[in-house]
Amino acid sequence: MFELIQVKEQRLDYFKDVYNLVDSSQFVFFILLYVSKMVTQFQSNSIFEVFLEAFIIVQAFYKLIYFVRIYDSFLFLITMVSKIMKDIMPFVVFIVVALLGFCKIF
């Protein structure tokens, strides 16, 4: 309920904050997943549903890390992991592009 009040008061400024985007997009993706599951009557998992589930889980971990930062004992670890992820991102992009290239070849 508080989120809806914030959207009403802040309008587009609400969506300029990354955490608000994660929070609202997780809700939207969950609704999309639920509608997709209801259409297929929970019979099969399409690629679309698998990607939605994976994205919702990644967002949930992001929110968990966001909330764990308030504890001093975890603050250093969370900061370290976030800096490592920023440093390793070019390598991850290279590996993903190389894997997609190999998948395309074979």
If 0-12 CB within 10 Å is exposed, 13-18 middle and 19+ buried, where does residue 46 land? exposed
Q: How do residues 54-71 score in pLDDT, each as one tens digit?
A: 989 988 888 888 788 777
Q: What is the rounded CA–CA span in Å between residue 99 and residue 95?
A: 6
Query: 16-68, pLDDT tens digit by residue?
Result: 887 788 788 888 898 998 898 888 887 877 888 888 889 899 888 888 887 88
Alpha-carbon span 99 to 93, nearest angstrom: 10
The predicted model scores a pTM of 0.62
- CA dist 49 → 21, 25, 42, 46 (Å): 21, 15, 11, 5
Q: In the chain, what are the domain boundaries?
A: 2-105
- Gap between the Cα atoms of 16 and 64, Å rounded: 21
